[in-house]
Amino acid sequence: MQIDLNEFIWAIINFLVLLALLYKFLWNPILNTLDKRREEISSNLSSAESMKQQAEEMLEEYKRKIAEAKSEAQDIINQANRAAEETRNTMMSQAHEEAARITEKAREEIRREKEQAMKEVRDEIATLAVMAAGKVLEKSMTKEDHEKLVRDFLSEVGEIQ
Amino acid sequence: MGHESGYLFHIFGLGVTSKITTMWAIMLLLTVLSILATRNMEKIPKARGVQNSLEMVVELLLNFFSDIIGYEQARRFLPFLGTMFIFILVSNYSGLLPGAGHIPGLAAPTSTWSVTLGLAATVFVATQVYGVKALGFRYLKKFLQPAFMLPLNIVEQFVRPLSLSLRLFGNIFGEEMVIAVLLGLVPYFAPIPVMILSLLFGFIQAIVFTLLSSIYFHEAIEESH
């Protein structure tokens, strides 16, 4: 068994030539296509994964926001209730105060009116009394007596005042 | 081998035998088929199209080698290993064509040691090139681990192409001899079972050759432990 050097060399040349030809026409196009598809699928998968994650995050955020809004609405309602209560209380106490003030004022008025009336009555009575007394005394008193009496009365009145 | 190694003609002073012309025919066939299949590459090929079938074959080979040496290396070495596999497979099968070995210009290329040794030599050179390219000086240092194994490690490198080429040549040559003898004893139908077996053996031999090559490549570019 011996090696035919011609065949040996041809085999090497042929293989290298075929390698080059198939590389250009078979392996390169097919492997590139497979690589591209592989890359695309893996990038699609990862982008789908990230989108899913994003969607989940958004869902989470919206849930949180809805809960926030709910609690905020509750806060606002509570606050409004409290404000209404407060306003009611203030108005009630103001009304009470006002009523008390008006009552007091009315009482004061009444008292003053009564005093005035009393005073007027008293003056009237005094005048009438003096006039009555005058009428009675007119007949029995001299002019001097009359003057004296008036002076005394005046001084008395002055003392009273 | 006698009369079969007679040269048909010479190119550049190199004698051309029937095995070489058969190789050329196979090369032409494979190249034309490849061009036809990949002429219009589509991102989404038709289900029953040529491109899809070819992609299936390529992926089959890719997965086969990925299981042995990992996807990255399989992807990298596939052009070499795949070309070798297809070349050897078709060469083996060419010997089953009627008249192979008798008609001038038609003979199974892998049925002579000269050709299988030539193919194994490319594997040998490629192994060294890949190793040095991947590891540089460290590739050569691997032969010195341990140092006293250096001669044995070097011998191993040269034994590999010998065993590769002898195994392939021996099997194919043997089959052809059996078929030829049977054909001589009982013409026409007697060799048919052997020829069917040869289809299987031809496939197995192509697988074994490229499988071992892939392991050599893998071993060459791996860091030493």
Q: Which residues pair with B10 in a beta bridge?
A: B15
A41 touches chain B (CB under 8 A): no
Contact call for residues B69 and B214 (beta carbons, < 8 A): yes
pLDDT for B117 equals 92
Which of residues B139 and B212 earns the better pLDDT score? B212
pLDDT(A92) > 90? yes
The chain-wide mean pLDDT, for chain B, equals: 84
3-state secondary structure (DSSP) of residue B9 = strand
What amino acid occupies position A78?
Answer: N
Sequence-separated (6 or more) residues with CB below 8 Å from residue B36 = B50
CA distance B102 to chain A (A): 18
Confidence of residue A73 (pLDDT cuts 50, 70, 90): very high
Q: For chain B, what are the domain ranges?
A: 2-221
Q: In Å, what is the CA distance from B83 to each residue of A7, A109, B8, B41?
A: 19, 126, 27, 20
Contact call for residues B14 and A10 (beta carbons, < 8 A): yes
Q: Do B58 and A25 touch (CB under 8 A)?
A: no
Q: Please tell me the distance from the alpha carbon of residue B161 to that of residue A86, in angstroms, as a whole number.
A: 102
CA distance B191 to chain A (A): 26
3-state secondary structure (DSSP) of residue A100 = helix
Interface subset of A 113-132, CB within 8 angstroms of B: none
- Candidate from A12, A18, A29 with C-beta closest to B41: A29
pLDDT for A107 equals 94
Contact call for residues B57 and A6 (beta carbons, < 8 A): no
Counting DSSP H helices and E strands in chain B, the numbers are 7, 2
pLDDT(A31) > 60? yes
Confidence of residue B18 (pLDDT cuts 50, 70, 90): confident
pLDDT(B108) > 80? yes
Global confidence as pTM: 0.70
Q: Do A11 and B118 touch (CB under 8 A)?
A: yes
Vertex B201 angle, CA A25 and B158, to 5° = 75
